[in-house]
Chain A
Amino acid sequence: MAYNHKEVVANKPSRFTSGHRMCAGCGAPSVARMILRALKPEDHAVIAGATGCMEVSTFIYPYTSWTDSFIHTAFECAGATLSGAEAAYKSLKKQGKLPENKTTKFIAFGGDGGTYDIGLQSLSGAMERGHDMVYVCYDNGAYMNTGIQRSSATPKFADTTTTPAGSVIPGKMQSRKDLAKIMVGHHLPYVAQSIALNNYKDLYEKAEKAIYTEGACFLNVLAPCPRGWGYNTEDLMQINKLAVETCYWPLYEVIDGVYHITYKPANKLPIEEFLKPQKRFKHMFKPGNEWMIEEFQKEVDSRWQELLDLEEMTNK
């Protein structure tokens, strides 16, 4: 059935309630809300959160924004924590200790710090063991919760508090890690990259596939951060759109190893369009720094081409 945004929102009340303390203009809450909407209303969910913005803003004792069961333990182990809960479900279900007609789904949320960096081992272990769960990385490209420190998801040249754009070193000097590809290397049944775009069709449909594909699935969702990126809070959806239209953040899914690019911009915009509204890239636009934009563009182009090639190769 074709996606109808109005129907989805009207018929599936949010399972992630308002009143949380996430910043205005933050990309993460709408991502969480929309992913949880992809759950069948009759299904129960156990959600794990890695320490980070989302966790500390949504579950401050004695309040919680999560209407499903939720567990947070530490920064680096949402994958392992949820794998334990999933193993418990399997065991108790097998022993007839849980209602037969009730399904529980398992979803983890971690930021890029808790996923690309400190939680990579725990994530890799959980994915390799094939627990029936979805791990969602809401990637805002730095350790935003502790005050905008660089992570391995931070794009090259970005100004962060541990890679400040200085007079000698102009921001982060290393490229971004490609986590989705690392996950594809785990031979998972479903890996996708998405974003909150337009009417959320892309995110909703990918979440639904990830949640209802048996086995370990991974979603990488770009979730801009107004404080870390330096954009006006009302521009969130515009930033998301530019990330996609410039091919900085390609939307694609990999089903059993076969790549499908789910959106190909008719007119790929130059990367400046994405970089310009963000204060973290401000220094790249100073006279004499044109090389930085060129280099950034080159990287975006080569990664996009690589993706096109992978799509062609795996669909032969």
Chain B
Amino acid sequence: MGIRERLSGNEAAAIAMKQINPDVVAAFPITPSTEIPQYFSTFVSNGQVDTEFVAVESEHSAMSACIGAESAGARAMTATSANGLSLMWEMIYIASSLRLPIVMSLVNRAVSGPLNIHNDHSDAMGVRDAGWIMLFSENNQEAYDNLLMAHRIAEHKDVMLPLMVCQDGFITSHSIENIELLEDEKVKAFVGTYHPEHYLLNDKEPIAVGPLDLQAYLFEHKFQQGLAMKNAKKVIADVSKEFEALTGRKYEFFEKYKMDDAEQVIVCMNSTAGTAKAAVDELRAQGIKAGLLKIRMFRPFPAEEVATALKNAKSIAVLDKADSLNGAGGALFEDTISGMYVSNIHVPTVNYIYGIGGRDTTVNDIKKVYWDLQEISNTGNIGNPYRYLGLRG
């Protein structure tokens, strides 16, 4: 039986890192993820981990150092948010192309500008095509659990890709909630030790990493990266099952909340799913067949599975906490509807951009979306598919 605690999302992430005991952590302070390296530094200073903590001078260097460390044969981790991830952007692509299973805690925050320190998903959406596995977390428990599963997924020989675990800035990172932790030795046994196949520090087999890769090879290398991302699906499913056997906590590609007979369905990610569950419960009490599909695995995107899960709905709203500013809907919306289209599933679907820059999204806001969906179901009229929630008129 686990250890009952009360922790913030950042504390949960830092404790997961302590239990994982990575060889190297390189990080730079940025709100709201700052506390993660801060707590972790205490573990380093008190000798509770074997980690070399590299207090770099920027996020670009944080990711560069993680790449150097992971290539050298170490387990490397970092944490960041928003502009920190933007500054890393160049290195984010390099990390995945070098097939380095680096693990990052991303505490989601609005990317500048103008400057805003509060939660939305614009940081994560900026790297959605960068070749990282992206797991989203509704609360502190999920942020912790996803981190414990991260290395098993990322380091799998069929995968070898970096992985980021997302949680909502402040809403999750700074809210203290109940959590069930695993014992240190159970984490150690579950995560296991890292045995890289090729690494810089192996003097018996020197290697060269990061070539000039021209027309004759880059295409095939990118194809292999894509293949690894596809392979990650099975590995994520397998590792999640193993984790369930250990903890009793079930994780799938997405969570279906009251979906069995649902007619009006919301698709969203991270903490908003908690708010949406409260709305679903209230509406169900009124006889409205509301359901929720909470995406956990955003990359690789489970397009076919999502489409199948949505096929019996009468109307769907996809909630994006980042505006793609493209005149054609947010990223989660686009992924969802293209998945449905390819599977030949056609259900009236609309997009809501919401919560930008930390704009509060309440149970009543979510209920309004379900009422809009009822209207669409009743009239068959979609109206404007590109909508906003909580935007002042």
Contacts and interface: CB of A to CB of B under 8 A. Distances in A.
A102 B68 contact: no
A55 interface: yes
A233 interface: no
A90 interface: yes
Contact of A62 (B200, B206, B217): B217
Contact of B91 (A44, A74, A85): A74
Contacts of A62: 211, 217
Interface stretch (B51-59, B170-178, B294-302): B51-59
Nearest to B216: A61
B65 A81 contact: yes
A186 B217 CA distance: 42
Interface in B195-224: 200-203, 206-214, 217
Most buried by A among B54, B64, B90: B64
A85 B71 contact: yes
A182 interface: no
Contacts of B208: 59, 64, 66, 69-71
Contact of B213 (A61, A74, A94, A129): A61
A64 B208 CA distance: 7
Nearest to B65: A84
Contacts, number: 165
B280 interface: no
Most buried by B among A46, A64, A94, A129: A46
Interface residues of B, dominant DSSP: mixed
A129 B72 contact: no
Interface string A48-77: 100000011001111010111111111011
Nearest to A102: B203
B201 A95 contact: no
Most buried by A among B51, B69, B217: B69
Interface in A204-226: none
A86 B56 CA distance: 13
Given A68-B206, A91-B23, A91-B24, A124 B57 contact: yes
Most buried by A among B26, B55, B67, B206: B206
B91 A87 contact: no
A24 interface: no
Contacts of A121: 57-58, 61
A61 B51 CA distance: 33
Given A61-B213, A95-B23, A89 B72 contact: yes
Contacts of B303: none
Interface string A1-21: 000000000000000000000
A83 interface: yes
Given A46-B200, A95-B50, A88 B24 contact: yes
A56 B213 CA distance: 9
B68 A129 contact: no
Interface bracket on A: 35 or more
A125 interface: yes
Most buried by B among A84, A89, A99: A84
A136 interface: no
A138 to B, nearest CB: 18
B64 A84 contact: yes
Contacts of B107: none
A229 to B, nearest CB: 24
A84 B201 contact: no
Interface bracket on B: 35 or more
Interface in B36-59: 50-52, 54-58
Contact of B212 (A61, A67, A70, A74): A61
B23 to A, nearest CB: 4
B382 to A, nearest CB: 45
A128 interface: yes
A80 interface: yes
B74 interface: yes
Contacts of A83: 54, 56, 61, 65, 68
Contact of B201 (A46, A122, A128): A46
Most buried by A among B55, B60, B213: B60
Most buried by A among B66, B72, B217: B72
Contacts of B67: 71, 73, 81, 84
A104 interface: yes
A312 to B, nearest CB: 34
A145 to B, nearest CB: 11
B76 A88 contact: yes
A196 interface: no
Nearest to B98: A73
B347 interface: no
B24 to A, nearest CB: 5
24 contacts: A44-B203, A46-B201, A48-B68, A59-B210, A61-B212, A64-B211, A68-B206, A71-B208, A74-B91, A74-B94, A79-B61, A80-B56, A83-B54, A83-B61, A85-B201, A87-B52, A87-B65, A87-B68, A87-B69, A89-B72, A91-B23, A91-B24, A95-B50, A129-B54
Sorted nearest first, the 6 A-B pairs with minimum C-beta distance are: A84-B68, A84-B65, A125-B57, A88-B74, A80-B61, A44-B203
Given A59-B210, A84-B24, 10 more contacts: A44-B203, A64-B208, A69-B208, A70-B208, A72-B211, A81-B64, A84-B65, A86-B68, A87-B26, A104-B201
